[in-house]
């Protein structure tokens, strides 16, 4: 199995996509950022064109290649199919542009998996606002030092202002656990991202915080 160098975790959105780069060797967060699109007043085709250009810039700046991995959050809902299709275009751009650079794209992680395995949320699904607040608390608990180093955790600016990056952090946390599981089991990385696989989720659970 490949010894990967970096993982780029992405929370895709047409409005603002958050991304976080992890060093696979030790799970260290090395950089993070956001990719914003033009406002809705701009035609969708132009907005997507701008997002694609910005994604290409980020991938080039991070110098991602065949030793790296990219994982996006999977689609979460079809309550608004029109919006879901827009987000899918952004998600697909991240993945296809990464593949052109020979980056490994093994699959996606579901938001509900992140909620359970990283944030410790069990039982009935709670309101979206509460999920977001728990995500912020979990990210601060797990990654306070790198968030401070990157200027994202400050007394004058609440971390919830960087919700897109928070979500990417937790996506990356789960993706890293799957990379390590594949390495330890000596199995293809892609097998750890097959959503149809019947896996004991408790064996995948990683440290979270629900305080």
pTM to 2 decimals? Answer: 0.90
Contact call for residues 152 and 20 (beta carbons, < 8 A): no
Task: Find all residues with CB under 8 Å of 88, minimum gap 6, and list them.
Answer: 75
Share of residues in the chain with pLDDT > 70 (%): 91
What gap in Å lies between CA 109 and CA 9, rounded to an integer?
A: 10
123 within domain boundaries? no
Average pLDDT for 185-211:
62
Mean pLDDT lowest among 9-23, 44-58, 176-190, 192-206: 192-206
Q: Which domain range does residue 24 map to?
A: 6-109+162-195
Is residue 205 a part of any domain in this protein? Answer: no
Residue 207 reports pLDDT greater than 60:
no
Selection from 118, 138, 96, 68 nearest residue 12 by Cα: 96
Domain count, the chain: 1
User: 122, 153 in Cβ contact below 8 A?
Assistant: no
**Domain with 62 in it: what CATH number?**
3.30.420.10
Q: Which pLDDT band, with edges at 50, 70 and 90, does 190 fall under?
A: very high
């Amino acid at each position: 199995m490949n010894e990967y160098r970096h993982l780029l975790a992405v929370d895709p959105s047409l409005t603002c996509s958050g991304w976080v780069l992890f060093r696979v060797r030790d799970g260290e967060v090395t950089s993070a950022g956001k990719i914003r699109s033009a406002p809705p007043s701009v035609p969708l085709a132009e907005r997507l064109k701008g997002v694609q250009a910005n994604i290409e810039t980020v991938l080039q700046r991070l110098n991602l290649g065949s030793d790296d991995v990219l994982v996006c959050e999977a689609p979460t809902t079809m309550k608004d199919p029109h919006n879901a299709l827009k987000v899918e275009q952004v998600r697909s751009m991240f993945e296809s542009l990464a593949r052109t650079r020979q980056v490994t794209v093994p699959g996606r992680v579901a938001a509900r998996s992140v909620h359970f395995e990283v944030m410790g949320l069990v039982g009935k699904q709670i309101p979206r606002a509460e999920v977001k607040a728990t995500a912020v608390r979990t990210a601060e608990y797990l990654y306070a030092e790198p968030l401070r180093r990157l200027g994202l955790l400050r007394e004058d600016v609440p971390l919830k202002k960087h919700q897109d990056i928070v979500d990417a952090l937790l996506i990356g946390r789960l993706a890293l656990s799957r990379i390590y599981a594949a390495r330890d089991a000596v199995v293809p990385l892609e097998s750890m991202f097959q959503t149809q696989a019947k896996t004991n989720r408790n064996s995948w659970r990683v440290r979270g915080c629900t305080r």
